[in-house]
Chain A
Amino acid sequence: MVPVTHIVFLSTALFFIGMYGFLTRKNLITMLMAIELMLNSVNINFVAFNKYLFPGHLDGIFFTIFVIVIAAAEAAVAIAIIINLYRSHKTIDVDAASELKH
């Protein structure tokens, strides 16, 4: 069996790759993808710890399904916002959308 440290290592790597992508990319779609990476790293943790700590229970799995569903909804909303941003600003650069600071 794969030791849990391997899986935690994978999910941590995935999370920080996602975080790096979120903080450095200026393209909103790329940033959205980075968020998905972070969410998925969390999902991996849920599944792994459910398997290793509480075998026979399904709570962690359910949480994962929840997260996937909500991520789908979030992606739909985010893309709608991006489309609107593109319509008004003709760009999807994140720094272009800074009007709310005033």
Chain B
Amino acid sequence: MSGYEYSIWILLLPIVGFVVLGLFGKRYFNKSAGIIATALLTASTILALCTACQYFFVNGLQNEVYPKVEALQFTWLTFSPGVSIDMGIMLDPISVMMLVVVTFVSLMVHIFSLGYMKGEDRFATYFAFLGLFTFSMLGLVVSSNLFQMYMFWELVGVSSYLLIGFYFQKPSAVAASKKAFIVTRFADLGFLIGILILAYYGQSLDFNAMIQTLSAQQSSGYLAITSASFLGISALTWGLTLVFMGGAGKSAMFPLHVWLPDAMEGPTPVSALIHAATMVVAGVYLVARLFPLFSLNGVSLTIVLAVGLFSALLAAVIACTQTDIKRVLAYSTMSQIGYMMFALGVSGYTGETGLGYTASMFHLFTHAFFKSLLFLCAGAVIHLVHSNEMKDMGGLRKYMPITHIAFLVACLAIAGIPPFSGFFSKEEILLASYNKDMLVYIVALLTSGLTAFYMFRLYFSIFHRKAAPDLHGHHSEGTFSMKLPLIILTICVIGAGFIPFGRFVSADGTPLQTNFHLMFSILPVIVGLTGIVIAWWMYKKETGKAESVARSLGGLYSASKNKFFVDELYLFITKNIIFKWIGRPAAWFDKKVIDGSMDEIANGTLEVSKSIKGLQSGKVQRYAMFFFGGIALLLIVFIYIWK
């Protein structure tokens, strides 16, 4: 008995909501669906907070580390006595932290959706899908083994697909949902192969057992996986890199990031929940979960570092030129996840070197709050303006004071201005990268400045820039249920930074004392402020400054506006190469050779039957004639030929 048996209900309550609302919602609970789902999730959130409280404060440290607790474990499928797939709930610092984050943000989004989605046709279905997503995400974070994680990983993919395509009447939403599903599925192919490699050498799917087998330097598993190689690269590197490919797909890392901006076709609260706060950080979570293995393997950790860093910078550059506010936020999400990734990439495993790991998880934690807040604010703005385009907004601060303050706080947080939460987590990441490599530090700093710039570009364009527009007496900021989550999240964004995160989460489980370096933090803050000032100078008033700057940048500006043509490149590869040189010949072979031979068999049968059907004339005497003829033939055969 672990004392955490109740934690299963954190998962079960959302799925109960999904089943009930999914089956009966439309008929019986179309009005009350939101209330039911929110009530279930409130209970779930309270349980998650109880779990966290019990884990960190009641049970606390054991032998100087936070233990990994198997709250629940049962065998799900047994293939043979040695091979079975288990299901379980594993509690350790990061999964407990994620439980709180996922349930909390999901609850905020549920409450926000009560107002935002009011009057939708498929109101109950929407909440059912949200329940499914929450269940899957919670299952993912508490997974005790890699295969269970993979299953929930696919489930979050499905629920993300369903929610992106929620407005399925819009062709763009359908295309976006397909794109998201296919791109992440493609990445998951790598993930699956990676799982198989790791599980084969690790002799187990269970995280703890696998990590133990593969990380003990003298064990046979470790020797086998490091000595086996393919194309000159060891099996461990292959396994981890392929697993990271899955993570990169889900977390929208370059070059698998193309689905995330399009995923903004979904309802805005969904973007806040799935495509900002929770699902897209699953890749970071996966790397963190397997971090003991990654930290052993320099090559795969370098890949994580490089991909994360490049994605962070690329997305930040793209975000500066987008005009759709949700797309700006999407690229900003991608950039921040890049931050988390490279923070893991610069981290070591033990003691002080594990700062990057702690910083990454800390940033994940704070990012969940301020990014979901940004998205919910964007949702409130879109709700009022009925447009996603920046040019339709401006001067809204008069109409939406609460949204305005919340958005400002979240922008300051993401820009890394003290004392908001983003400052603390970003400062730790920068410190970790500074300790590791100067180049990484400089790129990170540059990205940080760009982040401040594009966030405040967004802020000024939405809330300042123009005089307050006339909205035809349509002045409301939204219902109470839309304002409440904004207020709560704003408080979280302000407060979350003061949590001594290193005490709870660190790579090896022992509390890490993170010191606050005043001198070190001056430079990042100055860079952030510079970004804000430039944004203020360009976008505070409607002048031609922004346009003239864009013109002077020329090619860089248009490349960034067109997202560096990654989409076009993919389209070219798929359409002109794969479809033309593989798809079409394959289709021809299928139609002509495979279908063709079957068709010929059918046609031949038809022809033969046509030619002999005259024999069945219905004339009894003809039949008798054939009968006698046949007998005569047999007689001749038996008497003269076959003596």
Contact = CB atoms under 8 A, between A and B. Distances in A.
B618 A99 contact: yes
A101 B617 contact: yes
Interface stretch (A2-10, A58-66, A68-76, A90-98): A90-98
A101 B618 contact: yes
14 contacts: A19-B628, A22-B621, A22-B624, A23-B621, A23-B625, A24-B621, A94-B620, A95-B619, A97-B620, A98-B618, A98-B619, A100-B618, A101-B616, A101-B617
Given A19-B628, A97-B620, 10 more contacts: A22-B621, A22-B624, A23-B621, A23-B624, A23-B625, A24-B621, A95-B619, A98-B617, A101-B617, A101-B618
Contacts, number: 23
Interface of A: 19, 22-24, 94-95, 97-102
A93 to B, nearest CB: 11
A92 to B, nearest CB: 12
Contacts of A22: 621, 624
A99 B619 CA distance: 10
Contacts of B621: 22-24, 94
A70 B259 CA distance: 85
B38 to A, nearest CB: 69
- Chain A contact residues: helix, strand, loop or mixed: helix
Interface size for chain B: under 10, 10 to 19, 20 to 34, or 35 or more residues?
under 10
Contacts of A102: 618
Nearest to A23: B621
Q: Which of B617, B619, B620 counts the most chain A CB atoms within 10 A?
A: B620
Nearest to A97: B620
B626 to A, nearest CB: 11
A12 B193 CA distance: 83
A95 B619 CA distance: 6
Nearest to B622: A23
A101 B621 CA distance: 14
A17 to B, nearest CB: 14
Contacts of A101: 616-618
Interface in B608-641: 616-621, 624-625, 628
Nearest to B620: A94
B114 to A, nearest CB: 69
Contacts of A97: 618, 620
Nearest to A19: B628
Top 4 nearest A-B pairs by Cβ distance? A98-B618, A101-B618, A23-B621, A101-B616
A97 B621 CA distance: 11
Nearest to A35: B624
Contacts of B619: 94-95, 98
A60 B408 CA distance: 117
Contacts of A23: 621, 624-625, 628
A44 B262 CA distance: 96
A100 B616 CA distance: 10
A40 to B, nearest CB: 18
Contacts of B618: 97-102
Contacts of B616: 101
A95 B617 CA distance: 10
B618 to A, nearest CB: 3
B613 to A, nearest CB: 9
B632 to A, nearest CB: 11
A101 B616 CA distance: 6
